[in-house]
């Protein structure tokens, strides 16, 4: 969880609140009474000393209230409707195969909560993992508008050309608060999947998002378009140019 948001989350929780943390294994939120994660209780705290647990020094959950299961299982979460006063789901939805189903369960079992995800901008940056855009294990590009989440598959096309992503220097220029996005919600929130059909549509959607931020000189963008349409440079040379621009 983005550190400046820990205190607002704690302020939204009273001592009597029943709290659920979904996917908290790597860095548990200690104030949670219950945790649901695919990994076992005994190996919690994967990040260890580099990113210690948040939400207080004492664990409110226990081995008994740690539910090890696939959060995208077709079976509902093993809790009654509105069983929790607050539900935390931080850096999970971008990883899982069915974020819409999990969001529906979050709304079903919770009265309010906090969701956090990588920002669309940082997930579209090179420089996080060698030769790739964003994190290799993330499945979704996500936008939050008000209380609405839009999930778009992280199409593999995003890795294919520099115009579909931001260069590593753009990543280095982003302040830390723009690496993440979050949603505090009460009662419910909405979500949808944005599906694109056809390679051209995918390419246009990715490149237009990047173009709105203008991370590349206009002359370079124009030259690239001319080269691709008129000259057809050999693939090896094009890839070499892509690598250089992506740095």
Task: State pLDDT tens for residues 198-240.
Answer: 889 999 999 999 988 877 665 555 555 555 565 555 555 655 6
Per the confidence metrics, is the pTM higher than 0.95?
A: no
H helix runs in the chain, sequence order: 6-11, 99-109, 120-123, 168-173, 199-213, 218-226, 235-246
Question: Hey, what are 21's tokens?
Answer: 């943390």
Query: What is the rounded distance in angstroms from the CA atom of residue 219 to the CA atom of residue 205?
Result: 21
E strand spans, 41-199: 66-68, 86-90, 112-118, 140-145, 148-153, 180-186, 190-194
- Please state the rounded mean pLDDT for residues 101-126: 98
Which CA distances in Å does 229 have to 51, 200, 243? 48, 14, 20
Query: What is the rounded distance in angstroms from the CA atom of residue 115 to the CA atom of residue 89?
Result: 5
Q: Which residue has the tokens 């621009």?
A: 245
Which of these, 190, 187, 191, lies nearest to 85 by C-alpha position? 187
- Please state the rounded mean pLDDT for residues 111-130: 97
Which residues are CB-neighbours of 179 under 8 A, at least 6 positions away? Answer: 118, 119, 122
Task: State pLDDT tens for residues 144-192.
Answer: 999 999 999 999 999 998 889 999 999 999 999 999 999 999 999 999 9
Task: State pLDDT tens for residues 13-50.
Answer: 999 999 999 999 999 999 999 999 999 999 999 988 78
Q: What is the pLDDT of residue 215?
A: 72
Using 50, 70 and 90 to split pLDDT, how confident is the model at 130?
A: very high
Q: What is the pLDDT of residue 52?
A: 85
Q: Are 115 and 146 in contact (CB under 8 A)?
A: no
| pLDDT higher than threshold 90 for residue 104 | yes
Q: What is the pLDDT of residue 202?
A: 95
Q: Are 126 and 166 in contact (CB under 8 A)?
A: yes
Which CA distances in Å does 199 have to 112, 132, 203, 205, 243? 39, 19, 6, 10, 22
Using 50, 70 and 90 to split pLDDT, how confident is the model at 51?
A: confident
Q: What is the pLDDT of residue 236?
A: 57
More confident residue, 244 or 76: 76
Q: Cα 7 vs. chain centroid, distance in angstroms?
A: 21
Question: Hey, what are 13's tokens?
Answer: 């929780």
Q: Cα 149 vs. chain centroid, distance in angstroms?
A: 11
Q: Is 133 helix (H, G, I), strand (E, B) or coil?
A: strand
- Give the least confident one: 38-47, 88-97, 130-139, 217-226: 217-226
Q: Are 192 and 151 in contact (CB under 8 A)?
A: yes
């Amino acid at each position: 969880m983005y550190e400046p948001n820990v205190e607002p989350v704690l302020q939204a929780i009273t001592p009597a609140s029943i709290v659920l943390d979904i996917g908290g294994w790597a860095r548990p939120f200690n104030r949670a009474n219950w945790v649901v994660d695919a990994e076992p209780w005994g190996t919690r705290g994967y990040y260890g000393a580099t990113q210690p647990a948040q939400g207080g020094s004492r664990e409110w959950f226990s081995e008994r209230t740690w539910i090890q299961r696939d959060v995208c299982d077709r079976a509902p979460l093993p809790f009654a409707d509105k069983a929790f006063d607050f539900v935390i789901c931080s850096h999970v939805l971008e990883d899982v195969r069915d974020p819409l189903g999990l969001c529906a369960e979050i709304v079903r079992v919770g009265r309010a909560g906090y969701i956090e995800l990588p920002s669309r901008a940082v997930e579209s940056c090179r420089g996080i993992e060698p030769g790739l855009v964003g994190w290799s294990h993330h499945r979704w590009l996500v936008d939050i508008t008000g209380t609405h989440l839009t999930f778009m598959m992280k199409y593999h096309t995003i890795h294919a050309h520099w115009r579909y992503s931001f260069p590593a220097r753009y990543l280095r220029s982003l302040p830390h608060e723009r690496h993440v996005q979050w949603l505090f919600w009460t009662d419910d929130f909405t979500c949808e999947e944005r599906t694109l059909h056809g390679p051209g549509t995918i390419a246009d959607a990715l490149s237009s998002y990047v173009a709105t931020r203008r991370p590349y000189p206009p002359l370079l963008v124009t030259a690239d378009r001319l080269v691709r349409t008129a000259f057809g440079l050999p693939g090896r040379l094009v890839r070499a140019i892509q690598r250089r621009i992506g740095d």
